[in-house]
Structure 1
Amino acid sequence: MFKRAGSCATFAVFLWASFVRGQQSEAIRGNVVDAVTKQPIAGATVLLMSSRQGVVTNEAGKFKLSATQPNDSLLIRFIGYRSERLALAEINRNHRIQLTPTSLLFHEVTVTAKRNAAVAADSPAPVELVTTDTPRLLTTHNVGETLTHMQSLLVKDYGGLSGIKTVSLRGASEGQVLVLQDGFRINNPQGGWVDLNLLPTLGVESVEVLRSGASAQYGSEAVGGIVHVRTLSPAAHFSPQAEYTVGNYGTGAARIKLSQRVGKISGVLAYGRLRTEGDYPTGLAAQPRLQNNHLNKQDFYARGDFAISERIGLSAFHQIVDSDREVAGSLSFPTSAAEQQDNNRMSAVRFTAQTGELFNFNVQGNLQHLEQDYTNPDPFFPSASRHTVDARELLLHNRSRLGVWDFLYGAEIAHFEVKSTDLENPQRDQRSAFVQAEWRWHRVRNNALMSLAITPALRYDHFSDSGNRTSPKISLVWKWERDFTLSWHASAGKSFRVPSMNDLFWPSSPYTAGNPNLRPEVGTQFDGGVLVQSANRAGNWQLALDVFHTQLENLISWIPDENFRFSPQNIARAKIAGLEPALTWRSLRDRVNVRLAYTKMRAIDDGDDAATQGKRLLYRPDHKFDATFSAQIFGGTWGATYQLVSRRFVRQDNSFSLPGYRLLDLFGSYRFDFTGGYQIYLAGAIRNLADKRIQVIEGYPIPGREFRMTLGVGR
């Protein structure tokens, strides 16, 4: 009896062992990439066909799952790409899985919102991306011109190619919008803002606009959002390019670019010159044409990359911008002989190393040198000033992945020196540290992917002249994907702007005085939105709807004391709320593109002054609408842009406003292809087709109908 029982037990153990062997799981690893660009695809769904369970790829396009059936197969899919079904044996032989794109929509990758690569459906805040090789931008010459049709962004244009160009984003002033160049802040600490006319498109590859407060990630000035300029990267092969642009009002520009890759080393060189008389009509009988508005500008850009290994790289660039322009002044106070020279230099180096899940290290440093000389030999009110700003910045951050957590943490050190005829050579030191932790949950069931990402972030900043500031933020993104993608995001946080050195250290005189006791301007933001993406026989669709609310406190205003001496004080408050619907449609072969974007905004004074309380803030339009259309016809790309901007108040008591305006522009480009990859291209644009007399800023008219034509050759 015991012998029979032992035999049964042995047989049971044998069956159990066989069952365990049959259920032993095998680790399957792979890397999903775009078949055309070879770039990783983040967020792709990887399903086991037998169980319909699966995972999603990480930001590097990689995945790992367990399979119990050796004969099983995987289904890999991502919206906008052709799905692939592969046997496990095929994946084990080749870990790289290539998906073929069916359209170009939805796959623009941005880095600003998360300080890491992300597509729109995974971004915790709306980000709009534009590349400078877009046909409608081939005749533009500065970053200010490229941003004109960005949603919720108003380019404050002081007049044509010669005029200053600053931006207001979601109702935030130019000093409350952070401008980055490859991650480095370029806001001038003396005034706090950036003249985008001094950022030529010659060395620019793309520009990202983040519409959300981001001081928890980037620190001061990121109240309304961020304009992030990405510099031109080297081409994968020998690529020369030369072009010349002509236009009315005495405009002419020449640009040359040369890019080459040899082994692990690649580089790009670019040089450009621009001149314009700027003598366009003003619409006034007393001054029919704008005078003293000539511009001569030249810029140089060089970049070199060294791929030390597949995971370790070194990159450096140097940029020079020299601008010599006449300053026309406003129509009310013209300056017939004023001149301004700007000489800007920027050098930067970056080292990156990716050696595993715990170590994805980035260290970068830069030097900036800005010079500005202004002279006005007016016989009654002569003036002259000289300003020099030197900035040094070091950034370090590392990304670590621990299970469902993704940590980003780092530090920044900066030093600023100002030498000015207006100030007493002040200096500023900045010390900052930040941490961001993303928790991600996902589930794949019944061919549908559901995911949730929650990201708290915290940053500490210390300024030697303005004290300390702690900025928290939390955001979440929920996404559902099957035949279409539905994404919902929301965030809440604090942002701030440190006082400019002009505000703090302006010399004391009988008429003006700085205030070294100023506190930073503070913003509290709540925003959210929904994004729907779909690809079907009718084309590729993207519908977005975002809302935002910002409460601003400690706003700095220059007010008079009892002796009528003006000084800055933290006295103002403001409330800004808005709605941002947008629709994008592209045909299946990307031959037709349509984008409609509208912003409804209410920006009001929330201070205690009865004369201005509840009034609209200056130069914040209630309505802005942008439409862009382009089509590939007869071998070329042709299109139009339309913009509507409502009135802007220019007095704090809202007693006077500039009228709203409508602008219609036309553009087109045509390319002739030759052997060896060479081509000749012709691009043209008609700006302000209706020849309207418009002032975006009071007293500073923009050009009427303007023609530009660019002829180029390249590879």
Structure 2
Amino acid sequence: MEIASVHHMRPGLPFGRPGLFHSRKENAMKALSRFFLWFMLAAVQGFAQSGAILSGRVIDQGTARPVSDAQVELAGTPRRVTTGRDGNFVFSGLGAGAYTLRISRVGYATTDAEVALQAEEEQILTVGIREVSYLLDPVTSTATRLQSRASEVSTSVTVVPAAVLEHRQAQDISDAMQEVPGIFIRPYGALGDVRTASIRGSSAGQVLVLMDGQRVNNTQSGEVDLTTLPTEGIDRIEIVRGGASALYGADAVGGVINVITKTRGASEGIAGDARVLSGSFGTREAEVKGNYSSGSTFSALSYRYLKSNGDYTFHPIPDSSAARANADFLSHALFGKERWSIDDGRALSFTGQYFFNEAGDPGTISYPNARARKQNRNILLGLAYDEELESVVRTLHVQSYYHNLLFNYDDPLAYVPISNYSHNIAAGGEVQAGLRFSDWNSLTGGYAYRWDHFSGNSLQGEYERGLHSAYVVDEIALRPSFMRGLHRIAIVPALRWDRFSDFGAQLSPKIGLVVNAGEAWLLSVKANYGRSFRAPTFNDLYWPRDSYTAGNPDLKPERATDFDAGAALEVPALAGIGASFTCFGNRVTDLILCQPGADGVWAPANVGRAEARGFEAGALLNPWKDLLMISWNYTHLDARNKSGGPDEYDKELPNRPADIHKAAIRTRHAGFSASVELLSVGLRYTTTSNDASLPSYHVYNALVGYNWELAHSRMEVTGEVLNLGDAEYQVMAGYPVPGREFRVSLSFGVGSAGGE
């Protein structure tokens, strides 16, 4: 063959003998032509070089779906590749002989396949790998903005699936997060009263809450009342602990709570559920939901009605009792979603939520409000387009959203009668792309714009804020071969730029490290260091000036530096044992605190500093899958004030318990389910000088249920006791929490109304 003859030419003499040509110019041109001909033929021959080809696809044994990001290697050789979205792999230029094909992927058992190749053979394989059930390794999309296993990301993340919300009969998302390590839920009373979250000692305004990746925190107060986020349509809740401004911008100082709604049904066809609940203190609930799922369409619609009288008994002083007055609550929640799969890799979805509640504001024990009333009306709309590609750009996400939040508060019996309303509107959009440059380097980047507008008499005017943001997170993942069982070492740098129209630009960097190892077990070692910030709110900046208080339009953002490091280990084959440990630290400067001016008027200023250090530890035992599962986690926190006078400096920050234990025992078998949960919270100081405190408390909750599976339907009855020991306690000073509470629910469903 002519190509073969080129292959055997002596590369050192490509031009022949120059003496054959009469002209030096002609000689040079012919020599150049021969060089290009030789180069092209050699390149073609290089592509067509002899050797066997081994290609194939890696699939999940249980679902037969392609497995992406699986490491495929020829054992004993340096040859290795990573599967793409379609699960495909290919090795070319192989010699004849026997090979061991080794496939590994976090969350799956390492699988070996023996292959014998003949010379010039092309062999195509399909290799199934078995998923290993790791309770500590769910899928998360919040930690890196792309879907990943929790063990593969550098941050500490917990995923609460929809099944937990249903099992706990959660009334709002705060009920579902009670067992998450590092998070402290602060209820200001009973059902319908304000509930906020603190992560690793943060304030409520330093926790960013998202709905399908978009900010819920309003610009007026910066905080989110978790009772205004019902559980309808939720697929899962992801909680990222630690600073995350490098990915999500302002207010992600303590962490991020991302509420993710469903995108498909549990099975194709029409499904529906109806549920009624009755409980103590006049609590009543009715819910109906349905969905339709096919190969290209998912439609979901649900409605929930919830009310409570809230007239529980408490003891304002020893040897006396009273019924909590003006603590009633009524809410309506409506959720709808439509998702269209344009083709295999493209989808368009629309999400709409409406929530309305009306409740009394009972006030504190010392200063009760007999007739104060409040109303919330929240409307959240979102439109998203998602596409998966096979080029360097692997994913494309385009989203727009609109939030309309209205709050009214009236207290006709106040010293100066109050009738306030606040109207917050937010609208924006985002474009995000995920790129993969090689098997070891992938990058996610995006641009977002948001516009916030406030109107209302609570701030006596109208204010607005524009925000431009750009972010990038790079994942450099090495797959070493020098140690069997060591799967992956990844370095994850991230950077975000935010430009606010009212106080300038902020730059938030972060770097993370994660090491994955294990075959029949799973080990992940993680570390992070970064910076984050909280933006001043409209209340901070523009509070109307009177004889006592005023805003400060010259405020700067609060700035924080944080780190964490830890490890998690799970061994499913050894009684499902799992354990985790993470230490963390956070230093905040320019804290916004109110202080008196020379004229005696209190106004916010960037004068505070604080430090928080601690650790989170957890253990899991799951010897017989659903038959028995025991979990426990413990958070120790030392959060201290590093500013102020001698009476306040180095004192513990108020409302931050030093110790929190959370434990649960669950069982499920043949339709029967039961669980017992424990929440133990240590002493909390209530003043900056630490001269007053609330005692520790210990709360037990118990639940038992039974469900019947019929031909095309199902029925379930559930009984629940909250605060089984009838403990009397306050989480926040002056706001008593209900004692023992009973709830009974009955549900009936057709089809498979679940989803993901």
TM-score by length of 2: 0.87
Matched, 1:686 2:713: no
SS at the partner of 1:332?
coil
Who is 2:305 aligned against? 273
- For residues 70 and 22 of structure 1, what CA distance do their matches in structure 2 show? 17
**Bigger CA drift: 228-237 or 505-514?**
228-237
Cα 1:611–1:50 shift into 2, 3 Å: closer
How far does residue 584 in structure 1 lie from its aligned partner after superposition?
1.7
Cα 1:562–1:430 shift into 2, 3 Å: same
Matched, 1:595 2:631: yes
Unaligned runs of 5+ in 1: 1-5, 11-17
SS at the partner of 1:249?
helix
How far does residue 74 in structure 1 lie from its aligned partner after superposition?
2.9
**Bigger CA drift: 351-360 or 333-342?**
351-360
- For residues 137 and 81 of structure 2, what CA distance do their matches in structure 1 show? 20
Match of 1:509 among 546, 558, 562: 546
Match of 2:72 among 46, 51, 67: 46
Cα 1:642–1:34 shift into 2, 3 Å: farther
Cα 1:683–1:612 shift into 2, 3 Å: same
- For residues 165 and 141 of structure 1, what CA distance do their matches in structure 2 show? 12
Cα 1:51–1:528 shift into 2, 3 Å: same
How far does residue 448 in structure 1 lie from its aligned partner after superposition?
2.5
Task: State the one-letter code of the partner of 1:46.
Answer: V
- For residues 121 and 601 of structure 1, what CA distance do their matches in structure 2 show? 24
**Bigger CA drift: 578-587 or 151-160?**
578-587
Who is 2:490 aligned against? 453
For 1:168-207, list aligned pairs within 5 A.
Answer: 168-207=198-237
How far does residue 73 in structure 1 lie from its aligned partner after superposition?
5.3
- For residues 32 and 445 of structure 1, what CA distance do their matches in structure 2 show? 26
Who is 1:128 aligned against? 158
How far does residue 361 in structure 1 lie from its aligned partner after superposition?
1.0
Whether the 8 Å contact between 1:135 and 1:669 is mirrored in structure 2 is: no
- For residues 301 and 135 of structure 1, what CA distance do their matches in structure 2 show? 16
- For residues 692 and 48 of structure 1, what CA distance do their matches in structure 2 show? 62
- Aligned-residue RMSD, C-alpha: 2.7
Task: State the one-letter code of the partner of 1:353.
Answer: E
Cα 1:65–1:388 shift into 2, 3 Å: farther
- For residues 65 and 507 of structure 1, what CA distance do their matches in structure 2 show? 70
- For residues 199 and 39 of structure 1, what CA distance do their matches in structure 2 show? 34
How far does residue 138 in structure 1 lie from its aligned partner after superposition?
3.9
How far does residue 94 in structure 1 lie from its aligned partner after superposition?
7.6
Cα 1:315–1:95 shift into 2, 3 Å: farther
Matched, 1:673 2:706: no
Whether the 8 Å contact between 2:52 and 2:122 is mirrored in structure 1 is: no
Aligned length: 698
How far does residue 282 in structure 1 lie from its aligned partner after superposition?
1.4
Match of 1:210 among 234, 240, 259: 240
How far does residue 23 in structure 1 lie from its aligned partner after superposition?
6.9
SS at the partner of 1:425?
strand
How far does residue 639 in structure 1 lie from its aligned partner after superposition?
1.2
- For residues 508 and 201 of structure 1, what CA distance do their matches in structure 2 show? 39
How far does residue 80 in structure 1 lie from its aligned partner after superposition?
5.9
Whether the 8 Å contact between 2:626 and 2:669 is mirrored in structure 1 is: no
**Bigger CA drift: 479-488 or 457-466?**
479-488
Who is 1:303 aligned against? 337
TM-score by length of 1: 0.92
SS at the partner of 2:314?
coil
- For residues 268 and 451 of structure 1, what CA distance do their matches in structure 2 show? 39
Who is 1:345 aligned against? 379
Task: State the one-letter code of the partner of 2:383.
Answer: V
Who is 1:395 aligned against? 430
Who is 1:499 aligned against? 536
Cα 1:291–1:40 shift into 2, 3 Å: farther
SS at the partner of 1:390?
strand
Cα 1:186–1:52 shift into 2, 3 Å: same
Task: State the one-letter code of the partner of 1:686.
Answer: V
Who is 2:190 aligned against? 160
Cα 1:261–1:132 shift into 2, 3 Å: closer
CA displacement 1:489-525 (0-9 Å, x = unmatched): 1111100000011000111222111101000000001
Who is 1:24 aligned against? 51
Match of 1:76 among 100, 103, 107: 103
Who is 1:3 aligned against? none
Unaligned runs of 5+ in 2: 10-44, 752-756
Who is 2:675 aligned against? 639
- For residues 579 and 695 of structure 2, what CA distance do their matches in structure 1 show? 30
How far does residue 106 in structure 1 lie from its aligned partner after superposition?
4.1
Matched, 1:528 2:555: no
Percent identical among aligned pairs is 28
CA displacement 1:108-127 (0-9 Å, x = unmatched): 10111111112222120111
Match of 1:583 among 619, 626, 631: 619
For 1:136-151, list aligned pairs within 5 A.
Answer: 137-151=167-181
- For residues 392 and 479 of structure 2, what CA distance do their matches in structure 1 show? 21
Who is 1:368 aligned against? 403
CA displacement 1:17-56 (0-9 Å, x = unmatched): x9x99972525242433624x6665564434357596455
Whether the 8 Å contact between 1:168 and 1:174 is mirrored in structure 2 is: yes
Matched, 1:467 2:494: no
SS at the partner of 2:664?
strand
Task: State the one-letter code of the partner of 1:212.
Answer: G
Task: State the one-letter code of the partner of 2:420.
Answer: S
Cα 1:358–1:161 shift into 2, 3 Å: same
- For residues 272 and 246 of structure 2, what CA distance do their matches in structure 1 show? 41
Task: State the one-letter code of the partner of 1:572.
Answer: G
Matched, 1:383 2:381: no
Who is 2:276 aligned against? 244
Who is 2:368 aligned against? 334
How far does residue 467 in structure 1 lie from its aligned partner after superposition?
1.2
- For residues 122 and 331 of structure 2, what CA distance do their matches in structure 1 show? 57
Cα 1:21–1:202 shift into 2, 3 Å: closer
